[in-house]
Amino acid sequence: MDFQTAEKKAKDLQNLLNQYSYEYHVLDQPSVPDAEYDRLLRELIEIEEQYPQLQTSDSPTQRVGGEVLDMFRKVEHNTPMLSLGNAFDEQDLRDFDRRVRQGTGDDVSYVCELKIDGLAVSLVYEDGLFVRGATRGDGTIGEDITSNLRTIRSLPIRLKEPVSIEVRGEAFMPKKSFEALNRARGERDEEPFANPRNAAAGSLRQLDPKIAASRHLDIFLYGIANLGETGIQSQSDGLDFLEKMGFKTNKERRKVADIEGVIEYVNSWVERRPSLPYDIDGIVIKVDSLEQQAKLGATVKNPRWAIAYKFPAEEVVTTLKDIELSVGRTGVVTPTAILEPVQVAGTTVGRASLHNEDLIREKDIKIGDKVVVKKAGDIIPEVVNVLADHRTGDEVEFQMPTHCPECGSDLVRIEGEVALRCINPKCPAQIREGLIHFVSRNAMNIDGLGERVISQLFAEQLIKDVADIYKLTREQLLAMERMGEKSVSNLLSAIEASKSNSLERLLFGLGIRLVGAKAAKTLAQQFITMDKLMDASREDLTAINEIGDKMADSVVTYFDSEEVQELISELKAAGVNMEYKGPRPVSAEESDSFFAGKTIVLTGKLEQMSRNEAKEKIEALGGNVAGSVSKKTDLVIAGEDAGSKLTKAESLGIEVWNEERMLGELNK
């Protein structure tokens, strides 16, 4: 075949295959058998292999996955991808409608759309050609996953008209693809994915696009970021326009005249959602008129013209087979329900925390009971109640032990507490949990020393206290299971790097009772060195505003222990830093900063720095950073995905800044 003939044939095949793919993946109306599509695709591949210059970026042959990437490039969204506020019941929806009508007048209609449980993405087209796709990220900056998105067959590589446009959608894994993927992983003795959403997110973040291609993802488009010259006046018209361009939109959407129509639509899907071939976790309600949307505007976090109704937590019945006890680093004994494994909200649940003995008594929970289980907030498994009518008489009443299940020491209940506690300082469980806490992110932050490795080191008696971490050798680590040269080198480097941490990290990592991360920072800033803190009296400690009597007693008691003093000496000998390295805070009187003397709350994700870094800078200028919003709060600084703290601040009329304004004030 000469070049001219091949060029025409390749173009014809590309157009034909793109049309067949659109009919199959978007319209769900295939016009040819799969075998015919495959035959034509092989023919096109052969032509492009013979004449590589005929292989265009929108060719169907380019959907199988390209070169393996080294990393994902960061990209900035031209228009921020805002998250949605949530509604959990009918009253929340009516409150949303009231706010909308107050801002626009009573003449308002809504578009209801299924909330697909997947991964939000932004797609950019130039002159009709797909040029870039990115994750939502923090709403402003996402990751470039163009190569992986190209593998989604329902996503058009070239639009039906040569428009330049940025659109938003939700990539997801259909239930059928999810089941096939987990079946294949099981055959390879690999851990199955928990749910389709996790599987979709994991697939789109593969550096090898061929893996994404093999997992058969799908996508629905739901919005246009920049309308440009389209002339679109409403959300419903925008969805029709997307269809016209060749995008796949969800057919279950409905335009309704008022909030009654919204509530009717929501209720119709509460029971029907399991019948869908993909997962949904709610309904998105949007004001239809774009003019009204613009009038309503947005908060720092959410558009005021849209809300996401979240379905009630799924509740299922299973059997409580046993109650298991665990001992935490502070000695608290926590009961955990061992359940007959059951699917709840897309994941398999086999355990649920029972918190304490009082809760077990309050809910009258017995071993062998049929119980109702749900995920609180669709995240944490929780035993809701017992089905007492299903009891057979074989159920066994649970008794909390009188002795520690790990070391056999007497358990005590401290006055004012509901928890039973083991107070043996040599309890193996407490030591192990204390080691895990010591290496955690907010403490010494030793990457590579996770719970599994710590438990293994402790079981093999290679570490008995935190000082032993700094005595580990390459030979000891290489002898352990699943520890190769590279992982051992990385771990030893992380241990060495942790020696230079500032004092507050060490104090928090030691797990002194009642001393959290904030108190550790306060103590480090006040005393500067470990030696000075160890010499501090109860009066020295209580003289500090944020240190109360109980915490002061706890600190003095801790450092009075000969075992603790010996431990600190060992850490010093290992080269662990014992001094505070951060900025000294100034008093409100000493500072002329706007933040001086003010109580400030940080919420949401910041882009330019972490919240901890922002906290340090504000406190260094004399500000007080609190963890919760109250009437005493002077200012809330809200980043992306700010939650209930932002809502409470708005309800109390507290001033709210975004990150940009905060940075402007910090840099003065």
The C-alpha atoms of residue 353 and residue 341 are separated, in whole angstroms, by: 14
Band of the pLDDT at 506, cuts 50, 70, 90? very high
Out of 188-192, 419-423, 443-447, 514-518, the most confident range is 443-447
Range 464-475 average pLDDT: 95
CATH top-level class of 428-498: mainly alpha
Place of tokens 């680590």: 477
Name the helix (H) or strand (E) containing 518: helix 517-527
Domain ranges of the chain: 3-63, 85-310, 315-397, 428-498, 503-573, 599-666
Range 548-559 average pLDDT: 92
Whether residue 68 is predicted with pLDDT greater than 60 in this model: the reply is: no
Neighbours of 197 (CB within 10 A): 21
For residue range 428-464, list pLDDT tens digits in order. Answer: 999 999 999 999 988 999 988 988 899 999 999 999 9
Q: State the average pLDDT for the chain.
A: 88
Range 234-256 average pLDDT: 95
Query: Which pLDDT does position 386 carry in this prediction?
Result: 93
Percent of the chain topping pLDDT 70:
95
Query: Which pLDDT does position 155 carry in this prediction?
Result: 94
Residues acting as catalytic residues = 115
Fold of the 599-666 domain: Rossmann fold (3.40.50)
Of 255, 267, 395, nearest in space to 319 by CA: 395
What pairs with residue 600 in β-bridges?
625, 635
The C-alpha atoms of residue 552 and residue 169 are separated, in whole angstroms, by: 54
Band of the pLDDT at 608, cuts 50, 70, 90? confident
Of 193, 225, 242, nearest in space to 120 by CA: 225
HEC string of 263-293 equals HHHHHHHHCCHHHCCCCEEEEEEEECEHHHH
Query: Which pLDDT does position 557 carry in this prediction?
Result: 92
Query: Which pLDDT does position 281 carry in this prediction?
Result: 86
Query: Which pLDDT does position 267 carry in this prediction?
Result: 92
For residue range 166-198, list pLDDT tens digits in order. Answer: 999 999 999 999 989 988 887 776 777 777 888
The C-alpha atoms of residue 562 and residue 557 are separated, in whole angstroms, by: 10
Q: If you write DSSP's letter for every residue of 311-324 in order, what string do you get?
A: PPPPEEEEEEEEEE
Neighbours of 274 (CB within 10 A): 9
Range 491-519 average pLDDT: 93
Residue with the bigger pLDDT between 468 and 315: it is 468
Q: The tokens of 604 are what? A: 């949401």
Residue with the bigger pLDDT between 315 and 561: it is 561
For residue range 78-126, list pLDDT tens digits in order. Answer: 888 888 888 888 999 999 999 999 999 889 999 999 999 889 999 999 9
Band of the pLDDT at 323, cuts 50, 70, 90? very high
CA angle at 229 for the pair 228 and 232, rounded to the nearest 5°? 90
Residue ranges of alpha helices (H) inside 561-639 are 562-573, 611-620
Rounded to 10°, the helix 611-620/659-666 angle is 40
Q: According to the CATH classification, is domain 503-573 in 3.30.365.10?
A: no
Place of tokens 């000496």: 569
* 143, 166 contact by CB (below 8 A): no
The amino acid sitting at 104 is T
Residue with the bigger pLDDT between 298 and 437: it is 437
Q: The tokens of 99 are what? A: 């706010």
Whether 503-573 and 315-397 are alike in CATH topology: the answer is no
The C-alpha atoms of residue 508 and residue 234 are separated, in whole angstroms, by: 54
Whether residue 156 is predicted with pLDDT greater than 60 in this model: the reply is: yes
Contacts of 37 (CB under 8 A, 6+ apart): 17, 20, 21, 24
Band of the pLDDT at 509, cuts 50, 70, 90? very high
Neighbours of 434 (CB within 10 A): 20
Band of the pLDDT at 353, cuts 50, 70, 90? confident
Of 143, 149, 120, 121, nearest in space to 213 by CA: 149
Residue ranges of alpha helices (H) inside 174-289 are 175-187, 196-204, 209-214, 235-245, 259-270
Q: For residue 444, which phi and psi values (nearest 5 degrees)?
A: -80, -10
Range 562-590 average pLDDT: 86
* 364, 388 contact by CB (below 8 A): yes
Q: According to the CATH classification, is domain 315-397 in 2.40.50.140?
A: yes
Q: pTM surpassing 0.75?
A: no
The C-alpha atoms of residue 570 and residue 468 are separated, in whole angstroms, by: 9
Q: For residue 373, which phi and psi values (nearest 5 degrees)?
A: -120, 140
Query: Which pLDDT does position 69 carry in this prediction?
Result: 54
Query: Which pLDDT does position 184 carry in this prediction?
Result: 84
Q: According to the CATH classification, is domain 85-310 in 3.30.470.30?
A: yes
Of 604, 579, 561, nearest in space to 499 by CA: 579
Band of the pLDDT at 235, cuts 50, 70, 90? very high
Q: Poorest-confidence range of 105-109, 226-230, 472-476?
A: 226-230
Percent of the chain topping pLDDT 90:
50
Q: The tokens of 214 are what? A: 């093999």
Band of the pLDDT at 585, cuts 50, 70, 90? low
Q: What's the length of the chain? A: 668
Q: The tokens of 330 are what? A: 């502070």
Contacts of 285 (CB under 8 A, 6+ apart): 87, 93, 96, 110, 111, 112, 262, 306, 307, 308, 309
- The 10 Å CB-count burial string (b at 16+, else e) for 559-588 is beeeebeeebebbeeeebbbebeeeebbee
The C-alpha atoms of residue 280 and residue 225 are separated, in whole angstroms, by: 23
Whether residue 616 is predicted with pLDDT greater than 70 in this model: the reply is: yes
Q: According to the CATH classification, is domain 3-63 in 1.10.287.610?
A: yes
* 456, 481 contact by CB (below 8 A): yes
The C-alpha atoms of residue 137 and residue 172 are separated, in whole angstroms, by: 16
The C-alpha atoms of residue 143 and residue 532 are separated, in whole angstroms, by: 47
SS3 174: coil
Whether residue 466 is predicted with pLDDT greater than 90 in this model: the reply is: yes
Any idea of the CA torsion for 513, 515, 516, 522, to the nearest 10 degrees?
-170
User: For 309, how many CA atoms within 13 A lie in the half-sphere containing its CB?
Assistant: 29
The C-alpha atoms of residue 48 and residue 9 are separated, in whole angstroms, by: 10
- The 10 Å CB-count burial string (b at 16+, else e) for 129-167 is bbebbbbbbbbbbbbbbbbbbbbbbbbbbbbeeeeebbb
Note the Cα 462 to chain centre separation in Å. Answer: 34
Whether residue 220 is predicted with pLDDT greater than 60 in this model: the reply is: yes
